[in-house]
A and B are shown apart, each in its own frame.
Chain A
């Protein structure tokens, strides 16, 4: 990604090949018709290229950073709402991010991804729906035919497992 930030087109092509289909699939799953999803995906990837220098591997994985860009674009285009974003921390005059920090974060992200794929299918589906379905608990319940209490307890179970896998609790 450092190469992308320096304007290396070949490096960006790699990022593009990996993420463009995923971003589009995410948008389709969130309810965009394919033409809109394609347009929106191009916009997201153009933003990734343009803002590459702002990507900080000590603060987010590349996938998470691209996810937030796609998420915001989706809110903007599909819901036509603003996205209130928390105030950025005042980082102060600080050296370049520690390589060790970036590495720790990438390892956490990898552990999280493994924990997600190890979740029982029913729990993972609830999380997937929560992120990609643009559905509230009540709407998920209506779609899957599961009672609201079950959905909530599954979400909680899934979150607890993820948390556990991340060694937070």
Chain B
């Protein structure tokens, strides 16, 4: 990827840790993995959290029932594992990133290509979205907000992660540019407004439907399915 300014807004430690632990819903993990692809600081942090996982694995007691049997049978299991490894497909060396993709790899895998491949659907007010297929505990979508346009006022029942891919938006909290991740909790009510000029394209994930404050936006909610 082309060099770009380092992101200023990052996932917090709890979120990175949960991503390392593998306990986040898939949609949130997708947002975190996409941010990490764009952020060297978080890449290092994430590796440290994975080391914590390794240290905990080391500390894991070998206990449990049938410890004796298990020990006696271990060589048999080892043989089975070696046999099983034969049946695994040849471990290919990590593939070089597909050239010419303008989306970070983890996201490109969900879109099935780059920006051009995003199956946008109009949802009113010039805003477009594309819902990505993830596990059921949270949902992920790409949002296209024309320059200068606002996403209606809304609060959150759960956690909302918004990662800017291109363009920028601002809300009462701050300005968010490419690579920046905004973490919105139920306490935050905000009106993200795309900066004038180029459209703002974001990846957003939430584990609860958004709660819009006005009457008209509720209609938008129905239309947008968020």
Residues of A within 8 A of B (CB): 9, 12-13, 16-17, 19-26, 28-29, 34, 42-43, 45-47, 49-51, 53-54, 59-68, 70-72, 74-75, 79-90, 108-109, 112-113, 116-117, 127-128, 130-137, 152, 155-156, 159, 162, 166, 168
Contacts and interface: CB of A to CB of B under 8 A. Distances in A.
B110 A84 contact: yes
Contact of A127 (B29, B56, B74, B84): B56
B70 interface: yes
A33 to B, nearest CB: 12
29 contacts: A17-B74, A21-B60, A22-B62, A25-B64, A26-B60, A46-B88, A50-B88, A51-B91, A53-B91, A54-B94, A60-B50, A63-B57, A63-B58, A64-B50, A67-B50, A67-B57, A68-B50, A82-B26, A85-B106, A86-B36, A86-B43, A87-B97, A90-B96, A108-B51, A127-B56, A131-B56, A137-B14, A155-B14, A156-B13
| Interface size range on B against A | 35 or more
A45 B64 contact: no
A162 B210 CA distance: 35
Nearest to A17: B74
B70 A23 contact: no
B215 to A, nearest CB: 31
Contacts of A64: 47, 50-51, 53-55
Interface of B: 1, 13-14, 17-18, 20-23, 25-26, 29-30, 32-34, 36-37, 43, 46-48, 50-64, 70, 74, 77-78, 80-82, 84-85, 88, 91, 93-94, 96-97, 104-106, 109-110, 134-135
Given A25-B60, A159-B17, A87 B54 contact: no
B81 A46 contact: yes
Point out which of A28, A71, A130, A152 has the most chain B C-beta atoms below 10 A from its C-beta.
A130
A46 B47 contact: no
Contacts of A22: 57-58, 60, 62
Main SS at interface, chain A: helix
A42 B96 CA distance: 29
Given A53-B91, A86-B104, A131-B53, 14 more contacts: A16-B81, A42-B80, A50-B85, A50-B88, A61-B51, A67-B57, A68-B53, A82-B134, A88-B97, A116-B52, A131-B20, A132-B21, A152-B14, A155-B14
Contacts of A66: 54, 57
Contacts of A28: 64
A84 B56 contact: no
Contacts of B81: 16, 20, 42, 45-46, 49
A84 B59 contact: no
B56 A86 contact: no
A64 B13 CA distance: 18
A98 to B, nearest CB: 16
Nearest to A18: B58
A63 B54 CA distance: 4
Contacts of A155: 14, 17
B138 to A, nearest CB: 11
Nearest to B90: A50
Q: What 10 A-B pairs have minimum CB-CB distances, sorted nearest first?
A: A64-B54, A63-B54, A87-B105, A86-B36, A87-B37, A81-B135, A71-B22, A46-B85, A84-B33, A67-B53
A67 B50 CA distance: 8
